[in-house]
Amino acid sequence: MADWPILSLLIWVPILGAVIVLAFGRDETVARWLTLCIALATLALSLPLYFLYQPGLTATFAGVAAPVTMQFVESHEWIRALKVYYALGADGIAVALIVLTTFTSVLVVIGSWASIDKRVSQYMAAMLALEGMLIGVFAATDALLFYIFFEAMLIPMFIIIGIWGGPRRVYATLKFFIYTFLGSIFMLVGLIYLHMKTGEFSLAAFAQAGLSTSEQAWLFFAFLIAFAIKVPMWPVHTWLPDAHVEAPTGGSVILAAIMLKVGGYGFIRFSLPITPDASYEYAWVVIAMSLVAVVYIGYVALVQEDMKKLIAYSSIAHMAFVTLGIFVALALTRDFANPDAARLGVQGAMVQMISHGFVSGAMFSCIGVLYDRMHSRMIRDYGGVANVMPWYAAFFVLFAMANCGLPGTSGFVGEFMVIVAIFQSNFWIAAIAAFTLIIGAAYTLWLVKRVIFGAVTNEQVAALKDLDGREWVVLGAFAIAVLAVGIYPKPLTDLMEPSVLQLVNALMTAKA
């Protein structure tokens, strides 16, 4: 099946599946099973992507063997006059993110099985459409196609938060939509400008555009606004806590586990290859923003009274490691001529993205489990949950440990790689970044203490029931993923290695 258009199938099976669910899902049970089947089919389709991807593939051009990182390539002319192509391809980085997407989507469908009880078919259809568009973002190698998926995925998320969200859902979803739209539309002008320079929209052509230093600077900031809002980085993070708190559990999981990754992926796909010199020059801006996020947002997380908000802030702090890893690589390549450390930084950022996908998805699912029973997310309403829900408590503590970055869990691997990489460039930056391990442990463990441990605080908690089968499946799958990446990350790093290497090599020399 190597010559199947796997990426196209991965995009269109869920999107067309959404239409089918809308059309035939009048009965709630039918809608749920139909969605599960489609999500499982998509997951099954994404596995060949992982197994058939050849990290070591090389091709010989003019006698020189060059690595071929973009595989599963599809390219069809879409608009001839503008040279817009329906062009897809996946390198190791994209493959990892696509599998993360299909994996999480299945769990989200299972997790929302009973907790969504009104307009089920619309919810499930929105989830499937969102899944397809997210895969589209990771697979697009044409900038316009990327942008279309990047923007279009706001629509289902807008609907998901707005219809099935909490009391302030309308405010949160409007803020989410307008904030992210605001960011990305500046990128659109950047893309139009690049099209004027190169005459096409292909990312490969953009990277060869021969831009002057000032052009690169403008474009860099256009991309920065778009992706910084998506990640989100301090100080443009304020939409995230609102969106997370008000979103239904499934929406929160997708948002934290996958949508935020689009920002980090954008830096890797757009900022670094297209504007390397400006990225190098202004890396300090991004690094400074990330450090503020690590420390300040960490403290903000500490004082939260709402569990979801706490995890939302912790997401921002963890995603700051992604941007740190990516941008510290620039200094490492150019100032220190240390490509190995740079590679470690970008690799670490990527592992951190995948790991954060699992950990934050699991944490939000855990909170969802409690919320379904008590309809409260306030920490003060809980206490001593371990006494009545021992299995749940075991999972919760595992994911909390992963959130702190305990060795053996996936949370440790990425953060450790990034910190080691930063140490090669600047001790103080590394020291501040490492601070996260302390603050992270503080807010996570304190959350665990207040919610899980101690004596049972009230009767409602005493009446709680432990996990049911579906919740077991969801949390169990996340737990396996968290431990697998934590104990043996080599398959993941091997998958991404050549792609990261190619990126870092391209950064070594100035373009303008």
Partner 1 sequence: MTPFNTADLLVILPELVLLGATCAILLVDLFLKPGQRDVTHWLSIGALALTAFFVWRGAPEMGQGVYAFGGMFVHDNIAVVLKLFVLLICALTFVYGRHYLRERQLLIGEFYLLILFATIGMLLLVSAGSLITAYLGLELLALSSYALVALNRDSSISAEAAIKYFVLGALASGLLLYGMSMVYGATGTLDLARIQASTGFIEHPNLLALGLVFIVVGVAFKLGAAPFHMWLPDVYQGAPTAVTVFIGSAPKLAAFGMAYRLLESGLGGLSEHWTIMLSFLAVLSLAVGNLFAIAQTNLKRMLAYSTISHVGFLLLGFVGATPAGYAAAMFYAISYALTAAVAFGIIALLARAGFEAEEIDDFKGLNQRNPWYAGIVAITMFSLAGVPPLFGFFAKLLVLKTAVDAGFLWLAIVAIVFAIIGLLYYLRVVKVMYFDAPVHDAKLELPPDLPLRWTLSLNGLSLLILGVAWGPLFDWCNRALGL
- Nearest distance from residue 251's CB to partner 1, in Å? 14
Q: Which residue has the tokens 């999981």?
A: 253
Phi, psi of 153 (to 5 degrees): -70, -10
Residue 82 beta carbon to partner 1: minimum distance, rounded to whole angstroms: 8
Contact between 388 and partner 1 by CB under 8 A: the answer reads no
Candidates 68, 155, 204, 445: give the one binding partner 1 (CB under 8 A).
155
4 vs 171, beta carbon nearer partner 1: 171
Report if residue 173 touches partner 1, rule: CB under 8 A: yes
The reply on whether position 189 binds partner 1 by CB under 8 A is: yes
219 near 274, Cβ under 8 Å? yes
Interacting residue with partner 1 among 162, 348, 361, 384 (CB under 8 A): 162
Whole-number Å distance between alpha carbons of 509 and 344: 18
| CA gap 39, 85 in Å, rounded | 27
Instruction: Name the burial class of residue 446, with classes exposed (0-12), middle (13-18) and buried (19+) by CB atoms within 10 angstroms of its CB.
Output: middle
Which residue in the block uniquely carries the two structure tokens 């697998």? 484
**Contact flag: residue 159 with partner 1 (CB under 8 A):** yes
Total residue count of the chain as it appears in this document: 512
Q: Considering only the stretches 2-10, 161-169, 264-272, 497-505, report the one whose residues sit in contact with partner 1 under the rule CB under 8 A.
A: 161-169
Contact window for partner 1 (CB under 8 A) among 35-43, 102-110, 176-184, 491-499? 176-184
189-197, 298-306, 343-351, 404-412 -> range binding partner 1 (CB under 8 A): 189-197
Instruction: Give yes or no for residue 397 binding partner 1 (CB under 8 A).
Output: no
Q: Is 177 in the site for partner 1 (CB under 8 A)?
A: yes
Q: Which stretch binds partner 1 (CB under 8 A): 179-187, 289-297, 422-430, 436-444?
A: 179-187
Cβ atoms of residues 128 and 254 within 8 Å: no
Binding residues for partner 1, total number by CB under 8 A: 34
CB of 221 to partner 1, least distance (A): 12
Alpha carbons 331 and 337: distance in angstroms, whole number: 8
Q: Which residue has the tokens 């001593």?
A: 384
Closer residue to partner 1 (CB): 34 or 140: 140
Closest listed residue to residue 342, CA positions, set 421, 230, 261, 247: 421
- 158 part of the interface to partner 1, by CB under 8 A: yes
Output the CA–CA distances (angstroms, integers) from residue 421 to 143, 330, 414, in the order listed: 30, 11, 11
Q: Which is nearer to partner 1, 185 or 483 (CB)?
A: 185
Q: Taking contact as CB under 8 A, which single stretch among the options 29-37, 39-47, 191-199, 249-257 is the one that binds partner 1?
A: 191-199
Q: Which stretch binds partner 1 (CB under 8 A): 36-44, 153-161, 260-268, 319-327?
A: 153-161
Cα 244 from Cα 221, distance rounded (Å): 27
Q: Which of 273, 293, 319, 277 is nearest to 418 (CA)?
A: 319
Rounded to the nearest 5°, which phi and psi values hold at 424? Answer: -70, -20
Is residue 456 near partner 1 by the rule CB under 8 A? no
**Choice between 162 and 273, CB closer to partner 1:** 162
230 binds partner 1 (CB under 8 A): no
Stretch that binds partner 1, among 172-180, 224-232, 271-279, 418-426 (CB under 8 A): 172-180
Q: Which is nearer to partner 1, 222 or 233 (CB)?
A: 222
Residue 152 within binding range of partner 1, rule CB under 8 A: yes
Q: Is 151 in the site for partner 1 (CB under 8 A)?
A: yes
Report, in Å, the least distance between residue 148 CB and partner 1.
4
The set of residues, in sequence order, having a beta carbon less than 8 Å from that of 63 and lying 6+ positions away, is: none
Binds partner 1 by CB under 8 A, chosen from 20, 40, 52, 188: 188
The reply on whether position 163 binds partner 1 by CB under 8 A is yes
196 binds partner 1 (CB under 8 A): yes
Residue with tokens 């995890």: 311
CB atoms < 10 A from the CB of 435, how many? 14
The span from the CA of 406 to the CA of 404, in Å, is 6
Among 478, 416, 470, 43, CA closest to 257: 478
Query: Alpha-carbon distance 483 to 422, whole Å?
Result: 25
Map the footprint of partner 1 across residues 69-128, applying CB under 8 A.
78-82, 119, 122
- Please answer whether residues 14 and 35 qualify as being in contact, where contact means their C-beta atoms are separated by less than 8 angstroms: no
Q: What angle do CA 76, 268, 99 make, to 5 degrees?
A: 70
Q: HEC states along 367-392?
A: HHHHHHHHCCCEHHHCCCHHHHCHHH
Nearer to partner 1, 78 or 423 (CB): 78
Nearest to 349 by CA among 239, 273, 260: 260
Q: Which stretch binds partner 1 (CB under 8 A): 163-171, 229-237, 368-376, 378-386?
A: 163-171
Given 185, 209, 397, 441, the residue binding partner 1 (CB under 8 A): 185
> Which stretches of the chain bind partner 1, using CB under 8 A?
78-82, 119, 122, 144, 147-148, 151-152, 154-155, 158-159, 162-163, 169-170, 173-174, 177-178, 181-182, 185-186, 188-189, 192-193, 195-196
